[in-house]
Structure 1
Amino acid sequence: MGYNNEKLRTRCQEEIVVKSAAKVTRKQRRKPSKKGRPISVKREPAKTRETILHCAALAFAKAGFFGTSLSEILEQAGVNKRMIYHYYGSKEGLYRAVHIQQWQGLETWFAERLSQSSQGGAFQLESEALLKEALTIFHEFIARNQIFVRLLMWDGLEGGVVSRSIWRDIRGPLYERMELLVLAAQAHHLLSKDFKAGHLIVSFMGAISFYFAYANSLEDIFHKPALGPELLEERKEQVWLLFQKVLEKPAPTKGL
């Protein structure tokens, strides 16, 4: 699964060309071949569903649920309304499927990268290095998939209905995995128990996602492209420095 916004747009545009060619082919089916038999067209349901999801993700990320019309998605995906209802049941079902796909992408990315980093005993669950790796993983996922941030913002503005509906199966398990990292760090005295896991995780995600959500309006502050490789690396290191302060143990007070 790809997470690059430009790749999504390109894929969507490529699918439009493919769908247009398919329409021409469908017309040709009505004409008998030289042997008198109709020309058959092979359908690819899985590819059609993937195309719809790609194009819907771009549309919903741009204008939210209420600001996006099905006709816009249909046009971009090169499909008819019947296919939307066949695969997703409704516009609401399609919107939910888009969010599920995005959160599953984060969960997969997190699991794979964390697994790679911990191979060979390079990291222990309670280690500070693993906490830094978790931050890096989330930062790089958002950097590659800013659609995720925009969908998250729109869902919040529109009531958070979808986010709440997928908590148990999608968002909850991912949160619990992050919570385990915090609790393990506290158990091994790397992190003060004064910090509540929920608030720390929200602060962790917010410090990263806010930057990407408002990147276009932050260039006046940094005087360079906010999404350029130089500033992205700098931002990642600065956020880690901030959280290192959280991890620091207070020095013992003399005379007490």
Structure 2
Amino acid sequence: MSEPSSPAIAETSQPKAETARRPRNSAKTKASILAAARVEFADRGFEGARVDAIAERAEANKRLLYHYFGNKEELYRAVLLDAYQEIRRGERALSLDQYDPVQAMDRLVRFTFRHFLANPWFPRLLGTENIENARFLKTLPDIKALHSPLVGQIAAILERGAAAGIFRRDVDPVQLYISVAALGFFYVSNTATLSVIFERDLSSVGMVQEREAHAVQMVVDFLKTKPGA
């Protein structure tokens, strides 16, 4: 059950003189709330997350949280959108069209793996949204537009690789990206349990580097394999 909305209020009830000495920084406050909310939602899920806890973690007034984001559901949607925008920005910054097909795929696999590794809250947040059957993601109007350029980038890499006689021609870019994401997502999401099962510290630097190299090799070798070979 979502928490009730609160009417918009002034950012501070302090005297005007003190307000003048402490100018409003709404962008910084919003960023702090989003950062705190992503951790709370990732750790406790949508239902278990508390607005009070988010406000306390962000060191922000709870009424300000409602002022900027409306209610708990809208804040969760904002966290989801921000999470996807962040990874898409990172992918665009790779400038994959400037590299040969093999190098481009190498960079994409490594970036995806490292993004999950550096942001363990992200796989947990995605897990939460899958438990919710993607009901909030379905309401984000910008989500398809965010993913379309990525699919187009991968398709272009595959086409360049096929034209150069390096890659096979029967690869679906969407299926390929799902595989790339899975290679990092599963490892990061299951590091604790897999470490116990196989009696290896999969969080160690050496094991992480080995896994990243393994993921790159799997993807590139697959793309170079001729169908039916």
TM interval, shorter chain, is 0.7 to 0.9
1:153 equivalent in alignment to 2:127: yes
Relative to structure 1, is the Cα distance of residues 39 and 200 closer, same or farther in structure 2, using a 3 angstrom cutoff? closer
Mapping for residues 25-174 of structure 1, pairs under 5 Å: 38-40=17-19, 41-42=21-22, 43-114=24-95, 118=98, 123-124=99-100, 127-164=101-138, 165=140, 166-174=142-150
Alignment correspondent of 1:10: none
Compute the displacement of 1:93 (Å).
Answer: 1.3
Compute the displacement of 1:202 (Å).
Answer: 1.0
1:212 equivalent in alignment to 2:188: yes
Deviation by residue 1:88-131 (Cα, 9 ceiling, x = unmatched): 1221111111112211211121122336x93xxxx23xx21211
Q: Which structure 1 residue ranges, 5 or more long, are not aligned?
A: 1-25, 31-36
CA contact (8 A) 2:43 2:124 kept: yes
The structure with more radius of gyration:
1
Compute the displacement of 1:248 (Å).
Answer: 2.7
CA contact (8 A) 2:113 2:183 kept: no
Compute the displacement of 1:190 (Å).
Answer: 2.9
CA contact (8 A) 2:158 2:169 kept: no
Alignment correspondent of 2:7: none
* Percent of aligned pairs sharing the same letter: 23
Distance 1:103 1:196 in 2: 22
CA contact (8 A) 2:166 2:224 kept: yes
Amino acid at match of 1:178: I
Relative to structure 1, is the Cα distance of residues 144 and 251 closer, same or farther in structure 2, using a 3 angstrom cutoff? closer
CA contact (8 A) 1:215 1:227 kept: yes
Higher deviation after alignment, 171-180 or 132-141: 171-180
Structure with the bigger RCO (C-alpha within 8 Å, sep 6+) is: 2
Amino acid at match of 1:150: R
1:248 equivalent in alignment to 2:224: yes
CA contact (8 A) 1:143 1:212 kept: yes
Compute the displacement of 1:54 (Å).
Answer: 0.9
Root-mean-square deviation (CA, aligned residues, Å) is 2.7
Q: Please state whether the residue corresponding to 2:136 is helix, strand or coil.
A: helix
Q: TM-score, normalised by structure 2?
A: 0.81
CA contact (8 A) 1:114 1:134 kept: no
Alignment correspondent of 1:227: 203
Compute the displacement of 1:45 (Å).
Answer: 1.3
Q: TM-score, normalised by structure 1?
A: 0.73
